[in-house]
Chain A
Amino acid sequence: MTAVKTWLESWPVYRQLTGSDPFGRGKAARSMATEAVVSRTATADRVVKSVCPFCAVGCAQNVYVKDEKVVQIEGDPDSPISRGRLCPKGSASKQLVTSPTRVTTVKYRRPYGTEWEDLELDTAMEMIADRVLEARRKGWQDTDDEGRRLRRTMGIASLGGATLDNEENYLMKKLYSALGAIQIENQARI
């Protein structure tokens, strides 16, 4: 009899009809499978403090890492601004890391090419450096028409997004200025 009762009670519909949860939104909906589930946040190796990269509310995030992989991202309840909340974008931000269409290797399209090709990262860096020096030379201006100092190149332009870190923007502006490149812009203009 006890066995039958246990069996019956393991059946959510039975508990929903007989128990204190007639809408099946709480206890009644739990099954043995549910009981066996452990949240990814509980088994993570570590929790890393981060910030949502979408809008400028800057909701604080807890990033759960297991086996050097991001397994979950949640709102950080300690934040005075977001108080643990994330909107759909912030909640989906784990997929920025794990997206199946994310491209993680260098792709190269040669002039007049019709397809992408693969390229080693180091080779790409060297090739870009060559082109930067050449473009800088081609667009170089020492002075304007009236002999005023310009000391710049019009051969290199740049446009950054507003998900750049301050430190990244800083190094970019510093390097470009030292190169003489001035057409340096950011989404902040847009």
Chain B
Amino acid sequence: MPGLGASFGRGGATNYLEDLANSDCIVIEGSNMAECHPVGFQWVGEAKARGAKIIHIDPRFTRTSAIADLHVPLRMGTDIAFLGGLINHVLSNDLYFKEYVVAYTNAAALVSEDFVDSEDLDGMFSGFDPESRTYDDTSWQYQPEEPRHSGSDDPAEAAELDRTGEDPSVKHADRAQASGSGGPPIPAKPQRDDTLQDPRTVFQILKRHYARYTPEMVAEVCGIEPEVFAQVADWVTSNSNRERTTAWVYSVGWTQHSVGAQYIRTCSILQTLLGNIGRPGGGIMALRGHASIQGSTDIPTLFNILPGYLPMPHALQHSTLEEYVADAAGKAGFWGNKRSYMVSLLKAWWGDSATAENDFAFDYLPKINGDHSSYRTIADMIEGKVSGYFLVGENPTVGHPNGRMNRFGLANLDWLVVRDLQMIESATFWKESPEIETGELAPETIATEIFFMPAATHVEKEGTFTQTQRMLQWRDKAVEPPNDARSDLWFFYHLGRILRERLAGSDDPRDRPLLDLTWDYPTHGETQDPSADAVLREINGTGPDGRALSTYMQMKDDGSTTGGCWIYCGVYADEVNQAARRKPATEQGVVASEWGWAWPLNRRMLYNRASADPDGKPWSERKKYVYWDEAAGEWTGADVPDFEKNKRPDYVPPDGARAQDALAGTDAFVMQGDGKAWLYAPAGVVDGPLPTHYEPVESVVENALYKVQANPTVERIPGPWNRENPSRSEVFPFQVTTYRLTEHHTAGGMSRTLPYLAELQPEFFVEVSPELAKLRGLTHGDYATLVSARTAIEAKVLVTERVRPIRLRDGQVVHQIGMPYHWSYSGISTGDSANDLLGISLDPNTHIQEDKVSTADIVPGRRPRGPELIDFVEEYRRRAGVASGRVGLNGRDPVAADAGEGSTL
């Protein structure tokens, strides 16, 4: 979550679900919380019962809107314009929380003279390179108060990292995500003007940047009437002050956009200006969609990061450990201890083979040098560059956009391992997929060897999930998995064991990392299931005495400590599995600190130092949370302070102070290099230091604010299997969004296969407005066909006022279609797959696809079958001026004569 990481220093929800009950106003935007996080939604209900205002901002009217006091049906893809309008309202009416903003944000920081804002370049910031379509962010930096990098242990090396950091191969490697725990490194703290009057202050730049985001502009871009905007602005600002707080809740309705990270940045700016971060009932609640999405980034199976958001070493930048830590070592903030975290990780992985002499085996780590994310890899598969693929509880041919492209990828592998509970579509694409019908795939020509390995359910194994509020909860094993079913822990442990046995005795240096790996885990029972408890303890780390560490502050850079994921250090404090704690809620305080364990260090609300004023006193009695106890000389309150316990509020760092000692007593955002919440991001976000409204890649509307239509840095994966609908095309005249239902789960492998759930939501449907139904002759309950440059799918029509057409000021009417994405051809309840309709274009910060807004056509009736489907879609492409989408057998070679321009294969 670079949006949150770059703003506050950590990529996690700032507050916890129960805390929503303390809010005076809750804005849910980019989320249908009532349906997608139903049990969490009870806390919104609690807040409402206590008198809070609930606002739902979403293109569709849903069960969340039904509970809200106000539903704001903005045009899909325009949230930055709406939030930018609120920022402008707050700034131009002096409604920001002045003392908070001056003390805890970078509003007073001065920005380099070289920075040119997108307002002055019609939608571009300074530093854009049209060739690589990336920004060089050198001009975005602060005006430093001391020579750049002078605080570093090795200033020359740090400067070199800054320089190589501008290389496109680094930009494309999602470095921003590495600010998930510890904000982006900055060369030096900035000069400041605490009066906020200097035109180069962040505050003044922000004011100018959003000056044109007026209620009238919001009306024009979002289709929201000025009176409705005024109502939202009034409720939000009147509930954000010393006495009151407003919370914002978002979900993938924000992340899955070509400007997804910037959506979250816009909200971060607004919530920071209003003084709502780090305070009870405030914050930004990032709702993760699945059991352990948060855990899967904290301990990532992601190409660009290591556990604890340490970046994967990059070939261009990190040939040694010294180089790897140079951007952070010695600098202000907890990232200043990066070397300790990294050395502890290397010790956890390579034990005695990691020594000071061999750079703690840093060289054992493979290096990245570009985009190796999931969609790039699928394209590489089609081109025959990838031999083997493991799918571990994931069903990309249904759950990911552009199912057809995904299936072509799988059809061109040497082998595929699928680990799942059910025979999912990603395992059966070679005999049952839509492309078998069209003839584009043929089983007897597909070489992919497939192993379906049955998995264990959540009750057949032990382990932890990290849920949406950064909390780890341990599950005990209830029963043994049946037959050949095994946990993924079992599979990877035993695969590793077999591989190590195979290579034993090898003298190939390539095999050293595997042979030297610490891989001795105790096993249980007949199946020799490895102990997840032992793995969790390794993640926590141990000290020189071999005992579990209780905080990452104990980690050392000399190799005397271990720790697989520094931010999880403390989960095994006192040799106790803290994630397994289940002290009943009724037997403890409101924060419930003894239920599970939250990172970091069981702090339930992040940045909670900001719940007190600069002197350490609560902003108000009503919003008292964590505060300074002068008599005891410590921070105290309802939660674990997210601050050094004994650091006085009036502490001023002496010259030459390093790491955490360089943070002042008012630097509440302890993971940031300057200790401040970032209204303006001088680093860490690749598509601009300030969020700017762009239209989605596939939009039917012209950008009303700038000449630049869409995010100039958006990433594309061109090929005949991933054609894009042109912007403002009459052939694809409607906007489409996808969403989830309460009764189903993502790609449906865990819900369409369950009788209860399949019965509750038995078929695929699309939501259209009565106006669109009339326009296109669609009948409620009958079939309709949706068409894009990828393919055509069919669904039952649900005519409903829950989706409404948006009339823009120039008279243009934008019709919007809603489409749940759970279906495919397997399971108890079947249907076409919504994701087959969508293309892949990506947020350059995260490589997350824009699937919350795209375009399509819709016509009555069922779609063509067999090869006719190919011709039908090809005709649409031709009319829209899109290159051919025809491919050869198994997607591999285009049929040369028909391939047309743009085919790169």
Central interface residue in B366, B414, B443, B464, by most chain A CB within 10 Å:
B366
Smallest beta-carbon distance A31→chain B, Å: 25
A189 in contact with B302 (CB, 8 Å): yes
Contact of B290 among A95, A138, A161, A185 (CB under 8 A): A161
Chain A residues whose C-beta falls within 8 Å of the C-beta of B126 in the assembled complex: none
Smallest beta-carbon distance A187→chain B, Å: 6
Smallest beta-carbon distance A140→chain B, Å: 7
Tell me the chain A residues, 91-118 only, with Cβ under 8 Å from chain B: 91-93, 95-97, 99, 101-114, 116
Smallest beta-carbon distance B605→chain A, Å: 14
* A109 CA / B369 CA spacing, docked (Å): 34
B477 in contact with A48 (CB, 8 Å): yes
A93 in contact with B430 (CB, 8 Å): no
- How does the 8 Å CB contact mask read for A175-190 relative to B, with 1 for contact and 0 for none? 1111111111111111
A96 in contact with B750 (CB, 8 Å): yes
B585 in contact with A79 (CB, 8 Å): yes
Chain B residues whose C-beta falls within 8 Å of the C-beta of A29 in the assembled complex: none
* A104 CA / B288 CA spacing, docked (Å): 29
Chain B residues whose C-beta falls within 8 Å of the C-beta of A28 in the assembled complex: none
B849 in contact with A166 (CB, 8 Å): no
B291 in contact with A65 (CB, 8 Å): no
B387 in contact with A108 (CB, 8 Å): no
Knowing A88-B742, A96-B457, the reply to whether A160 touches B393 (Cβ < 8 A) is yes
Smallest beta-carbon distance A167→chain B, Å: 4
Q: Tell me the nearest residue of chain A to B483, going by C-beta.
A: A104
B296 in contact with A58 (CB, 8 Å): no
B37 in contact with A56 (CB, 8 Å): yes
B476 in contact with A152 (CB, 8 Å): no
Q: Tell me the nearest residue of chain A to B295, going by C-beta.
A: A166
Knowing A148-B316, A148-B319, A180-B510, the reply to whether A54 touches B592 (Cβ < 8 A) is no
Knowing A88-B757, A188-B296, the reply to whether A168 touches B463 (Cβ < 8 A) is yes
Residue A87 lies at the interface, judged by CB distance under 8 Å to chain B: yes
A170 in contact with B539 (CB, 8 Å): yes
A163 in contact with B414 (CB, 8 Å): no
Stretch from A5-13, A15-23, A33-41, A68-76 forming part of the interface with B: A68-76
- How does the 8 Å CB contact mask read for B482-524 relative to A, with 1 for contact and 0 for none? 1111111100111110110011000000100110010000000
Stretch from B67-75, B448-456, B690-698, B855-863 forming part of the interface with A: B448-456
Q: Tell me the nearest residue of chain B to A159, going by C-beta.
A: B394
Contact of A99 among B300, B385, B421 (CB under 8 A): B421
* A58 CA / B514 CA spacing, docked (Å): 35
Contact of B299 among A82, A87, A152, A166 (CB under 8 A): A166
Chain B residues whose C-beta falls within 8 Å of the C-beta of A178 in the assembled complex: 349, 364, 496, 513-514, 517
Smallest beta-carbon distance A35→chain B, Å: 27
Chain B residues whose C-beta falls within 8 Å of the C-beta of A97 in the assembled complex: 457, 459-460, 479
A95 in contact with B755 (CB, 8 Å): yes
B535 in contact with A49 (CB, 8 Å): no
* A68 CA / B389 CA spacing, docked (Å): 35
* A51 CA / B303 CA spacing, docked (Å): 28
Chain B residues whose C-beta falls within 8 Å of the C-beta of A92 in the assembled complex: 751, 754, 756-757
Chain B residues whose C-beta falls within 8 Å of the C-beta of A152 in the assembled complex: 366-368
Contact of B492 among A102, A103, A113, A172 (CB under 8 A): A172
Knowing A70-B459, A162-B290, the reply to whether A174 touches B349 (Cβ < 8 A) is yes
Knowing A104-B483, A139-B387, A177-B366, the reply to whether A56 touches B287 (Cβ < 8 A) is yes
B293 in contact with A133 (CB, 8 Å): no
* A60 CA / B517 CA spacing, docked (Å): 35
A159 in contact with B492 (CB, 8 Å): no
A96 in contact with B487 (CB, 8 Å): no
* A126 CA / B453 CA spacing, docked (Å): 13
Chain A residues whose C-beta falls within 8 Å of the C-beta of B811 in the assembled complex: none
B443 in contact with A158 (CB, 8 Å): no
B451 in contact with A124 (CB, 8 Å): yes
* A152 CA / B482 CA spacing, docked (Å): 37
Smallest beta-carbon distance A117→chain B, Å: 10
Chain B residues whose C-beta falls within 8 Å of the C-beta of A91 in the assembled complex: 756
Contact of A160 among B301, B535, B760 (CB under 8 A): B301
A155 in contact with B386 (CB, 8 Å): yes
Chain A residues whose C-beta falls within 8 Å of the C-beta of B498 in the assembled complex: 125-126, 129
* A172 CA / B290 CA spacing, docked (Å): 19
Knowing A70-B478, A81-B18, the reply to whether A156 touches B387 (Cβ < 8 A) is yes
B482 in contact with A104 (CB, 8 Å): yes
Smallest beta-carbon distance A76→chain B, Å: 8
Knowing A80-B592, A165-B465, A186-B302, the reply to whether A151 touches B366 (Cβ < 8 A) is yes
Contact of B742 among A83, A87, A93, A107 (CB under 8 A): A87
Q: Tell me the nearest residue of chain A to B367, going by C-beta.
A: A150
Residue B40 lies at the interface, judged by CB distance under 8 Å to chain A: yes
B510 in contact with A165 (CB, 8 Å): no
Smallest beta-carbon distance B829→chain A, Å: 12
B295 in contact with A112 (CB, 8 Å): no
* A148 CA / B373 CA spacing, docked (Å): 21
Smallest beta-carbon distance A54→chain B, Å: 5
Residue B787 lies at the interface, judged by CB distance under 8 Å to chain A: no
Central interface residue in B306, B380, B588, B750, by most chain A CB within 10 Å:
B750
Chain B residues whose C-beta falls within 8 Å of the C-beta of A76 in the assembled complex: 582
Q: How many A-B residue pairs lie within 8 Å, measured between CB atoms?
A: 470
* A113 CA / B454 CA spacing, docked (Å): 20
A51 in contact with B473 (CB, 8 Å): yes
Residue B277 lies at the interface, judged by CB distance under 8 Å to chain A: no
Residue B42 lies at the interface, judged by CB distance under 8 Å to chain A: yes
Residue B819 lies at the interface, judged by CB distance under 8 Å to chain A: no
A165 in contact with B461 (CB, 8 Å): yes
Central interface residue in B385, B482, B585, by most chain A CB within 10 Å:
B585
* A157 CA / B392 CA spacing, docked (Å): 11
* A170 CA / B420 CA spacing, docked (Å): 19
B394 in contact with A187 (CB, 8 Å): yes
A163 in contact with B290 (CB, 8 Å): yes
Central interface residue in A63, A142, A171, by most chain B CB within 10 Å:
A171
Chain A residues whose C-beta falls within 8 Å of the C-beta of B459 in the assembled complex: 48, 50, 63, 70, 73, 97
Chain A residues whose C-beta falls within 8 Å of the C-beta of B155 in the assembled complex: none
Chain B residues whose C-beta falls within 8 Å of the C-beta of A4 in the assembled complex: none
B480 in contact with A181 (CB, 8 Å): no
Knowing A129-B498, A162-B293, A177-B365, the reply to whether A169 touches B447 (Cβ < 8 A) is no
Chain A residues whose C-beta falls within 8 Å of the C-beta of B365 in the assembled complex: 151, 177
Knowing A165-B465, A172-B301, the reply to whether A54 touches B374 (Cβ < 8 A) is no
B847 in contact with A149 (CB, 8 Å): no
Chain B residues whose C-beta falls within 8 Å of the C-beta of A163 in the assembled complex: 290-292, 393, 458, 465, 750
* A75 CA / B877 CA spacing, docked (Å): 51
Residue B564 lies at the interface, judged by CB distance under 8 Å to chain A: yes
Knowing A155-B388, A172-B488, the reply to whether A59 touches B39 (Cβ < 8 A) is yes
Residue B445 lies at the interface, judged by CB distance under 8 Å to chain A: yes
Contact of A105 among B36, B39, B385, B483 (CB under 8 A): B483
Central interface residue in A56, A57, A109, by most chain B CB within 10 Å:
A56
Smallest beta-carbon distance A136→chain B, Å: 9
Residue B718 lies at the interface, judged by CB distance under 8 Å to chain A: no
Smallest beta-carbon distance A122→chain B, Å: 10
Knowing A112-B443, A129-B499, A175-B495, the reply to whether A167 touches B300 (Cβ < 8 A) is no
Chain A residues whose C-beta falls within 8 Å of the C-beta of B446 in the assembled complex: 111-112
Knowing A53-B291, A109-B430, A170-B565, the reply to whether A104 touches B485 (Cβ < 8 A) is yes
Knowing A125-B495, A128-B451, A132-B499, the reply to whether A54 touches B595 (Cβ < 8 A) is no
Not counting A166-B299, A179-B514, a sample of 7 additional A-B residue pairs whose C-beta atoms are within 8 angstroms of each other reads A57-B467, A70-B478, A105-B454, A157-B388, A166-B466, A172-B492, A190-B399
Some 26 contacts from A to B, beta carbons below 8 A apart, are A49-B474, A50-B475, A56-B293, A56-B467, A58-B471, A63-B478, A69-B479, A81-B39, A89-B757, A92-B757, A95-B754, A99-B754, A99-B755, A112-B447, A139-B385, A148-B316, A163-B393, A165-B295, A165-B463, A165-B464, A167-B532, A172-B492, A177-B365, A182-B367, A186-B302, A188-B296
Pick the 9 closest A-B CB pairs, nearest first.
A58-B467, A165-B463, A161-B393, A152-B366, A135-B387, A80-B592, A80-B585, A56-B288, A162-B290
